Amino acid sequence: MGSSAGPPVAAPGIEAPDVELTDISKRFGATEVLRGIDLTVGRGELVCLLGPSGCGKTTLLRILAGLVQPDAGRVRIRGRDVTGVPAYERQLGLVFQSYALFPHMTVRDNVAFGLDARGIRGPEAGRRIARVLELVHLGGLDRRYPRQLSGGQQQRVALARALVLNPDVLLLDEPLSNLDARLRQEVRDEIRALQQETGITTVLVTHDQEEALTMSDRIVVLRAGVIVQSGRPLDVYGAPRDLFVAGFLGDANTLRGRVDPGGDGVVFVTSCGLVVGLDASRAGAAGPAAILLVRPEAIEIGRGAAAPVGAFAGVATVVRYRGATVDLGVRLDTGDELRVLKTLPGYQDVRPNERIWVRWDVRDGVLLPDETART
Amino acid sequence: MTTARAWVLLLPATLFLVVGFAGPIVFLGWTSLSVKDGGFGLEQYRRFLLDPFYRGFLTETVVISLVTTAVCVVLAYPLAYQLARTGARARSVLLMLLIAPLMIGDVVRGYGWLIALGDYGVLNQLLLSAGLVAKPIRLIFTPTGVVIGLVQVLLPFMVLPLAAAIGAIPVDLEEAALSLGARQGRIFRKVLLPLTRPGLAAGVVIVFALAMGSFAIPMFLGGVRVKIVGPLVFQQAMLTADWPFAAAISSVLFATSLLLLVAYTWLGGGARRGLEVVGR
C-alpha cells in the first residue's frame, strides 16, 4: 500500500489520530454515496456520524471496517494506511445493528470466535472471555444461546465479542435501534460508561439526534454524502451551520427576513415586519436575505397585554401540556408564528387565545444565510 | 370446523399417496415373495443377495450413488452461495439456468452425454486435437461416465435446498465473522456449514435417493458394463418377464436406500429440519 496519494501520516512529535479518513468517495452505480469525506478521530474520542437514512453514514462506517472499499481516498488507522486491507486484517471491533450473533454458538463461543481466529485459545482465551463478560455484566450467562437472551443482553454479547479483541477502534452501527425506548436509555448510558471506562476510540452511526447529543464527544452531521458540520454536541446544537442541521438536531423556529444594518445597531426584519435585535458579532456572517433561528426553549414568555421593552406581543394559539414540559404556539401581532417550549416549574398557566408576550436573548438568535432566497 | 375443513383439503393428497405409493409397495412386496411353483418364500431374495453377480449390482449402485452425492455437495456449495447472495435479477437468471435442464428429459440428456463423452465424441475430439491424449479416453460405459451424467441431472436438487439454507443466513453474520478476523475458509467451516446443515441434509437425501433409483442415465452411459440396479429391474421385468425377481430386486433397492438415509439422518441430525428448509 503506497501512501503517496495522501498527506503525511503524522506530523513529527504529534501522535497520529486513531482514525484518519482523507478525501473518501464512493458511488454505487449512478448514486454518489460519499463525496470528499475528511474525518479524524482522536484517541479515546467518541464520534457520532449523524444523518438521515441514505446520507452515507453507514457506508462510511463500512469503509472504515473494510467491508466496503472506497472509490477514492485513504483510510488510516493508528497511522497505518489500511486502504485495501481486508476486514479480517484490521484490528477493529464492529457491532451491527442486528448484533449478528452466531445463533448456533453459545455466548462464550461467540466471544471466543475472534480470539480463535487469531490463534488465542486455552487459558489465555478463557481469562479474556471471563474479563470481558464481567465488563459487560454478562457473567454467568456464557452457556446461553443468543435466542435465550433479551435484546439488551444480545447487544452486550455483541459488544463483548468486539471488545475482547482489544480493537484499535470500536465501530457501532445504530446500536440502540433494536431496543425499546426504556431499554434504549439504559443501554445508551451503559455504552457511554463502558467507552469512558475502557477509553476506546469509538465511531457510532445513528439517525437519532438524542443518541448523538447524549453520547458523543463530537457529532459529525452528514447529508447526501457530505459532512455538513462537525463539532461538540453543545456547539452544533447551539450554532447549527444551516437549516438542515438546525432541523435535524432538535426543533427550531425559523424566521425569514433580511438584515438591516441601518440605525442604532444591526437588526433583523422578518418578512412580516417584526424587528429583532441581533448579536452584532454574528450579524456580519449572513447576506441581506437571511433566516433567524431561535430554539423553542430559548424563548421566555409572560402573560398580559402589556409587553415589556424588547418583548413582542402576541396570542397563544395552542397550549399542549406534555407532563414535564408545555408546548406553546404563539402568533405575534406582526403575524410571525413561533413555537415555545417551557418546563413546568415557574410556568404560568397560559390559556389558548390569551394575550402574552415573548422575548429572547439576542445571543440565542442564530443567523443563517437564506439559501432558498439566493437561488 | 376448521379441522374438518383441513381434513377435506388433505384428503386428495392422502388418497393419492395411498393408492399410488403405499399400494404398489405392498403389491411389490407380495409379488417378490411368490415362488415359481406357487406359494411363498424368500427364494428371489436369496437369488439376488447370495449370487455375487447380482449382488455386484447393489454394491456398485450404492458406490456410484455415494460418489454422485459427494460430487454434488462439493459442486453445489459455491453455486448455491452465488445463487443466494446475488441480487434479485441475477438470481432469477441463475435460477432459470439451473432449472432449465430439468425441462429436458433424462433420455434426451442421456443421448447428449453419449455424444459428448463417446470414444469419438466432442470431449475426446477436443482432447485428441489438443494433443493431450494419444488415444480416446474411455468414459461411456464406465462408472465415471455414469457419475458425470448423474451429477449433471441431480445437481439442481442439491443446489436448491442449499441456496434456501444460505439465503436464510443474514449477510451480517459473514461480515461479523470477517471483522472478527476470520477468512473465507473459517467462515465456511464455522458459520455457513453448521447453519446450512438442514439444507445439506435435504439435498443429500434427495440426490442420494434419486441416484439409487436412477434408470435412464445409467441405461445410456453405463450400458451393460456398469451394474446399476435400475436397468436390471427393467431388464428382469420387461425383457425376461421375471416379475417376482424384479419385485425382489426393487424391494432390496428400496430397503437399502431407506436404511442408508435413516442412518444418515440419524448421524447428520434431522431430516425433518432438512425437509423444513425445502418446504420454505
Centroid of chain to Cα B54: 22
List the one residue out of B262, B252, B254, B257 whose CA is nearest residue B50.
B252
Judge contact between A317 and A275, C-beta under 8 A.
no
Q: How far is B183 from chain A (nearest CA, A)?
A: 6
Q: Can you name the residues that pair with A226 across neighbouring β-strands?
A: A223
List the one residue out of A20, A162, A2 whose CA is nearest residue A11.
A20
Q: Please tell me which of B204-208, B223-227, B262-266 the model is most confident about, judged by mean pLDDT.
A: B204-208
* Whether B190 and A113 lie within 8 Å, measured CB to CB: yes
Q: How far is B175 from chain A (nearest CA, A)?
A: 7
pLDDT of residue A286: 53
Alpha carbons A43 and B246: distance in angstroms, whole number = 79
Judge contact between A87 and B177, C-beta under 8 A.
no
Q: By the CB < 8 Å criterion, does B280 face chain A?
A: no
Residue A178 grid coordinates: 433494536
Q: Is the pLDDT confidence value at B240 over 70?
A: yes
- CB nearest B194 (choices: A101, A104, A118): A104
Alpha carbons B90 and B98: distance in angstroms, whole number = 12
From residue B253, alpha-carbon distances to A297, B29, B182, B208 in Å are 83, 12, 44, 12
Cβ contacts of A36 within 8 Å, gap of 6 or more: A23, A24, A25, A73, A226
Strand order in the sheet with A19-28: A31-41, A19-28, A72-77, A80-81
pLDDT in tens, chain A (375 residues): 333 444 444 444 456 789 999 999 999 999 999 999 999 999 999 999 999 998 999 999 999 999 999 999 999 999 999 999 999 999 999 999 999 999 999 999 999 999 999 999 999 999 999 999 999 999 899 999 999 999 999 999 999 999 999 999 999 999 888 888 888 888 889 899 999 999 999 999 999 998 999 999 999 999 999 999 999 999 999 889 888 999 888 888 988 888 877 666 677 888 887 888 777 666 555 567 888 889 999 998 888 878 788 889 899 999 988 888 889 999 998 888 899 998 877 677 888 899 999 998 888 888 887 776 544
- CB nearest A96 (choices: B172, B190, B191): B172
Check residue A273 and report its DSSP letter.
Answer: -
Q: pTM for the whole thing? A: 0.83
Which of A69, A82, A96, A166 is most worth mutating to test chain B (most B CB atoms within 10 A of its CB)?
A96
Helix pair B23-32, B243-268: axis angle to 10 deg: 120
pLDDT of residue B280: 36
Residue A309 grid coordinates: 421593552
A96 to chain B: which residues are within 8 Å by CB?
172, 175-176
Pairing of strands A289-294, A253-260: antiparallel
* Whether A98 and B170 lie within 8 Å, measured CB to CB: yes
* Whether B172 and A98 lie within 8 Å, measured CB to CB: yes
Check residue A166 and report its DSSP letter.
Answer: -
B33-83, pLDDT tens digit by residue? 988 777 788 999 999 999 999 999 999 999 999 999 999 999 999 999 999
Alpha carbons A325 and A319: distance in angstroms, whole number = 11
Cβ contacts of B130 within 8 Å, gap of 6 or more: none
- CB nearest A100 (choices: B176, B181, B186): B176
B191 to chain A: which residues are within 8 Å by CB?
102
Residue B4 grid coordinates: 374438518
List the one residue out of A320, A267, A327 whose CA is nearest residue A296.
A327
- CB nearest B181 (choices: A96, A103, A118): A118
A66 to chain B: which residues are within 8 Å by CB?
178-179
* Whether B194 and A100 lie within 8 Å, measured CB to CB: no
B185 to chain A: which residues are within 8 Å by CB?
none
Check residue A29 and report its DSSP letter.
Answer: T
pLDDT of residue A87: 95
Alpha carbons B127 and B123: distance in angstroms, whole number = 6
pLDDT of residue B276: 44
Alpha carbons A366 and A295: distance in angstroms, whole number = 9
pLDDT of residue B85: 93
Per mean pLDDT, which range of A8-12, A27-31, B101-105, B242-246 is the poorest?
A: A8-12
Judge contact between A301 and A343, C-beta under 8 A.
no
Judge contact between A204 and A49, C-beta under 8 A.
yes
Q: What are phi and psi of B169, to 5 degrees?
A: -95, 120
pLDDT of residue A304: 82
Give the residue from chain A lying closest to B191, CA to CA: A102
- CB nearest B182 (choices: A94, A100, A117): A117
B120 burial type by CB count under 10 A (0-12 exposed, 13-18 middle, 19+ buried): exposed
pLDDT of residue A1: 38
3 state SS of B129: helix
pLDDT of residue A343: 85
Residue B150 grid coordinates: 448423474
Q: What is the ipTM of this complex?
A: 0.83
Interface of B with A in 147-186 (CB under 8 A): 170, 172-173, 175-183, 186
List the one residue out of A344, A300, A299 whose CA is nearest residue A320.
A344
Alpha carbons A231 and A219: distance in angstroms, whole number = 5
3 state SS of B179: helix
pLDDT of residue A10: 42
- Compute the count of residue pairs across chains A and B with CB atoms less than 8 Å apart: 62
* Whether A114 and B194 lie within 8 Å, measured CB to CB: no
B133-183, pLDDT tens digit by residue? 888 888 889 999 999 999 999 999 999 999 999 999 999 999 999 999 999
* Whether B191 and A88 lie within 8 Å, measured CB to CB: no
Alpha carbons A117 and B161: distance in angstroms, whole number = 29
Please state, rounded to an integer, the average pLDDT across all residues of chain B: 89
Judge contact between A292 and A273, C-beta under 8 A.
no
pLDDT of residue B2: 72
pLDDT of residue A4: 41
Give the residue from chain B lying closest to A102, CA to CA: B173
Dihedral of CA atoms B116, B121, B124, B127 in degrees, nearest 10, equals -80
B178-208, pLDDT tens digit by residue? 999 999 999 999 999 999 998 998 899 999 9
Q: Residue A273 is which amino acid?
A: G
B182 to chain A: which residues are within 8 Å by CB?
88, 113-114, 117
Pairing of strands A267-270, A253-260: antiparallel
Alpha carbons A112 and B180: distance in angstroms, whole number = 10
B117-129, pLDDT tens digit by residue? 988 888 999 999 9
E strands, chain B, in order:
none
Q: How far is A44 from chain B (nearest CA, A)?
A: 21
B194 to chain A: which residues are within 8 Å by CB?
104
- CB nearest A102 (choices: B178, B179, B191): B191
